[in-house]
A and B are shown apart, each in its own frame.
Chain A
């Protein structure tokens, strides 16, 4: 495979383009995904329309040029309507990617996802399939304030029949996006907007990453840290800091939030006896609490300390830069909770 460095955002764009080339039933639908209506100044000499920005972040830029307005469909700001259309299209033979610009707008798009997309296969006795990919954006750190910065993948993850993937790097973003599109079920693909500029090696070729499998990105023996999306970086930095103190940390990139990979997490905890879960969601009823509960149940006799979660506080995301930074879980917060877990290892003191 040829490797080159591209950004997280480009990896997703490339995945969508490759999927659309490979399978003509794949379409993209959403507010502003083409980038403007069919306005005159976008008409090119050959009569085709150029795309403007390509989505609020420019992520789908270029797609309308290649695939045309029939497959890259701009909608009004009417999520309930076009998500309904996307579910219907999925049920009747297309393989749509439907974009929810910010996951904070979930309220408007929820019914087609919760009551239609997630239920049809079950209610129709398996005779319908809903190969719908919902792309959306989460995460604090961009100064986008309380209504555009939340982390809500856990909400989708609590719906039976919905899969949720949260990539942490460009390579995973492409492979998971292609897997999501290929999947015959409703998959929510949640992107952390703070990762869009992240660069990494991404093969040009088409490849998929298995949904439902976590990735052990660092092996260790003393402490397991499970992290989601952007938080994988925090976990890795924590692991490096603790390594200086001879504490061996295993870092698991969860990759899929629902259904999350119990086998990998449980095996790791059985090895290390200690678990920290980092999740930028608000602290209650989230993915971290779910993982903590399952591990407490299924690995109880292997635990050598309390299970710790490091999450955002139970507040809206603040707008002020300093407060927003304080809101996001970071290395310092993880080290603080780690100290209680590793104090008995009697190695060097934890550097906080």
Chain B
């Protein structure tokens, strides 16, 4: 018996991985759980462990070589074992929908070839599929109004009429055929060419986000005096109680955002492959800058967490992300993202959506302003600037403004945050 090690899928968006280093040579014995090689993908580097003990029989790729998720990387088996099986396995590229958390070094079963499924399946009639292909439409952008949500001829005709279905499929790989060159503004094959895996992943994600959504950013400044007072008073009490909690503004804004999101589920949603899903639970992405890039670790179930727990977990995930320790699981599944450039002195900016999310909140640095108090006296107040980018396909300006209103309510009356 031999076991095939396949390229694991470390995150929802991972499509290929790069071999960074082999820890074992062909013919060398390995024991179960021992690292066989290191791969890197998009945002992280990961050791791939041996699923069983045995001899490393085949290496299917050299260092720096890129393989699709599910492709056979290596085979471990008994000495002199099943070379044919090995060869067969190695030549089969497999896309296996292994969940990220179980994917690492899991000996995914090698199935017969496969279609590339990204996210949910799109239902489309054969006629509509043919028409979409002829007109180079991206079916992910077309709403299906037929039975079972199918895209029909009618939907294609409407898309052609309205011209909404962005010419040339973003996801569709255009195979060779120079006579049939796609005018695609976003061609996955070439984006990020020549960059390292992380930059390449960022490039793809950003281009995909801008290519597939209708992004609009609105801004609002909110009086943060109460929030700052609340933070200071809470800090003192936390210190007095000798608790290990670091209460940053990011934490408080995160808590406020979570509460606002629960009131405004439209903004806490995914829109992917023609399917809109609004979530009850909030998995909060925290954009984290690295020396050479950017990752978005996720605090799962943020809506169930108190300020204290949130503070601890935001810190945990950020540290892990910075140290490159984040597993695939930690980097996927967010329903809404917060990105804070406050420390860099930025006031407003236009964050790019972390697709398939439909909203991302940018936080700027405090702005000093003069204002009149109740007695008519001039006083200085601090305001916190927010930039909310949303997908105008799903969310309208009024809804987005409503979300910022609710957020402001929590910022201006911060004691609500402990509820």
- Is the Cβ of A300 less than 8 Å from the Cβ of B126? yes
List chain B residues, Cβ under 8 A from A341. 146-147
Task: Kindly state whether residue B190 has any CB partner on chain A within 8 Å.
Answer: no
Q: How far is the CA of A346 from the CA of B143 in the complex (A)?
A: 14
Task: Kindly state whether residue B102 has any CB partner on chain A within 8 Å.
Answer: no
Q: How large is the interface on B (under 10, 10 to 19, 20 to 34, 35 or more residues)?
A: 10 to 19
**Considering only CB atoms, which chain A residue lies closest to B129 in the complex?**
A301
Q: How far is the CA of A335 from the CA of B153 in the complex (A)?
A: 21
List chain B residues, Cβ under 8 A from A81. none
Q: How many A-B residue pairs have CB under 8 A?
A: 46
- Is the Cβ of A305 less than 8 Å from the Cβ of B154? no
- Is the Cβ of A346 less than 8 Å from the Cβ of B127? no
Picked from B125, B145, B154, the residue with its CB within 8 Å of the CB of A303 is B125
Q: How far is the CA of A301 from the CA of B128 in the complex (A)?
A: 8
- Is the Cβ of A304 less than 8 Å from the Cβ of B130? no
Task: Kindly state whether residue B49 has any CB partner on chain A within 8 Å.
Answer: no
- Is the Cβ of B146 less than 8 Å from the Cβ of A343? yes
List chain A residues, Cβ under 8 A from B145. 343-344, 346
- Is the Cβ of A301 less than 8 Å from the Cβ of B130? yes
- Is the Cβ of A344 less than 8 Å from the Cβ of B126? no
- Is the Cβ of B146 less than 8 Å from the Cβ of A273? no
Task: Kindly state whether residue A53 has any CB partner on chain B within 8 Å.
Answer: no
- Is the Cβ of B153 less than 8 Å from the Cβ of A273? yes
Task: Kindly state whether residue A1 has any CB partner on chain B within 8 Å.
Answer: no
0 or 1 for each of B126-143: is its CB under 8 Å from A? (1 = yes)? 111010000000000000
Task: Kindly state whether residue A123 has any CB partner on chain B within 8 Å.
Answer: no
Task: Kindly state whether residue A345 has any CB partner on chain B within 8 Å.
Answer: yes
List chain A residues, Cβ under 8 A from B152. 304-305, 344
Q: How far is the CA of A192 from the CA of B148 in the complex (A)?
A: 36
Q: How far is the CA of A302 from the CA of B125 in the complex (A)?
A: 9
Interface residues of B in 150-174 (CB under 8 A from A): 150, 152-155
> Distance (Å) between the CB of A350 and the closest chain B CB?
12
Q: Is the interface of A mostly helix, strand, loop or mixed?
A: helix
Task: Kindly state whether residue A245 has any CB partner on chain B within 8 Å.
Answer: no
List chain A residues, Cβ under 8 A from B154. 304, 344-346
Task: Kindly state whether residue A340 has any CB partner on chain B within 8 Å.
Answer: yes
> Distance (Å) between the CB of A9 and the closest chain B CB?
41
List chain A residues, Cβ under 8 A from B148. 340
List chain A residues, Cβ under 8 A from B147. 305-306, 339-341, 343-344
- Is the Cβ of B155 less than 8 Å from the Cβ of A344? yes
**Contacts A273-B153, A346-B154; A303 near B146 (Cβ below 8 A):** no
List chain B residues, Cβ under 8 A from A346. 145, 154
**Considering only CB atoms, which chain B residue lies closest to A306 in the complex?**
B147
Interface residues of A in 327-352 (CB under 8 A from B): 339-341, 343-346
List chain A residues, Cβ under 8 A from B127. 273, 301-304
List chain A residues, Cβ under 8 A from B126. 300-304
**Considering only CB atoms, which chain A residue lies closest to B150 in the complex?**
A305
**Considering only CB atoms, which chain A residue lies closest to B154 in the complex?**
A344
**Considering only CB atoms, which chain A residue lies closest to B146 in the complex?**
A344
List chain B residues, Cβ under 8 A from A305. 125, 146-147, 150, 152
List chain B residues, Cβ under 8 A from A344. 144-147, 150, 152, 154-155
Q: How far is the CA of A346 from the CA of B153 in the complex (A)?
A: 13
Name B residues whose Cβ lies closer than 8 Å to a Cβ of A.
Answer: 125-128, 130, 144-148, 150, 152-155
Name A residues whose Cβ lies closer than 8 Å to a Cβ of B.
Answer: 273, 300-306, 339-341, 343-346
The 10 A-B residue pairs with the shortest CB-CB distance, nearest first, are A340-B147, A344-B146, A344-B145, A304-B127, A344-B152, A304-B153, A344-B154, A304-B125, A303-B126, A301-B130
17 additional A-B pairs beyond A273-B127, A300-B126, A301-B127, beta carbons within 8 Å, are A273-B125, A273-B153, A301-B130, A302-B127, A303-B127, A304-B125, A304-B126, A305-B125, A305-B146, A339-B147, A341-B146, A341-B147, A343-B147, A344-B145, A344-B152, A344-B154, A346-B154
